[in-house]
Amino acid sequence: MYVKEAGRNVKTVELDKSGNVILIDQRALPKFRTVKMKTFRETAEAIRDMTVCGAGAIGVTAAFAMAQAHMENVPLEEAKRYIDSTRPTARNLFHATEKLLNSSDPVADARKYAQEEEEACKAIGEHGAKLIQDGFRIGTHCNAGWLAFVDWGSALAPIFVAKRQDKRVTVFVDETRPWLQGTRMTSWELQQEEIKHFIIADNAAGYYMWKKELDMFIVGADRIAANGDAANKIGTYEKAVLAKENGIPFYVAAPLSTIDINTPSGESIQIEERAETELTRFEGHRIAAEGVRARNPVFDITPARYITGIITPKGIVKPENIKTL
């Protein structure tokens, strides 16, 4: 994708010729900057501290961290344990480290993995764009654009392809607290692509559904269980329930690396909880009274019965058919 601030095509994560992992610093957006991770541990910590977000981007970053470990002569079993400890929910991370664990050429295979994930996301866009009619108003939650992958993205890929097909679309972007991925990332990406959009409060999506101002909803996923249940950013479940109540199609877009057939249902997915301070503080300032406690789950589970279809690189399938892919 084209980044105006950089004046060039920039991928979310890259492995340079010297073995450094170059990342777009997602914590800084909408201010654009890249950061360089020189060791596999630095790269792993970039996953932990959310320098890089999004299931696909986390997966590819994990693959590159494994390649760095190989170049540093660190046993890949040791590297995998360290990398796997950074984030527990996104399937893509574990998919990547499993793929690289027994590689005879981790550097080449990591680059191949990144390329395959990028191609998968482009295919998601091509399949998903068929669902989008000219003039559609589309809701989304969190960031599942190219920042969340290597390029193209999952939930935003159909929108990007539809734009290239000269379809007019308007996107309603949930702000996505507490990290504001929608406000800071999704909106920024849509601006780069010159796609009409509005940022809305997280709790406003139901209002716009009720007013018949949304034609469909597309979100990404961090892990999809064998029965079609999907883990995604906290707040996704309530959007899916409201979409069903209002008769609005609700789609999940994801590459095959997000699907975990060894997890029977959403009840078996480990949900990450992060620090209370992400809710009690804002930009370094405490906004909750001293002594007040907080709970901060990062993801929730959307049961398969609320999902109209899952947009994959191989086509659009019903959640109950996810195991056939």
- Residue 222 catalytic? yes
Residue 184: CB atoms within 10 Å: 20
Strands 136-140 and 169-174 turn out to be parallel
Rounded Cα distance between 191 and 193, Å, is 5
Q: Which is the catalytic residue, given 109, 151, 174, 222?
A: 222
Question: Are 22 and 16 a contacting pair, CB within 8 Å?
Answer: yes
Distances (CA, A) of 14 to 47, 67, 87: 14, 12, 20
Q: What number of helices (H) and strands (E) belong to the chain? A: 11, 18
Contacts of 112 (CB under 8 A, 6+ apart): none
CA angle 18, 43, 261 (to 5 degrees): 115
The catalytic residues are: 222
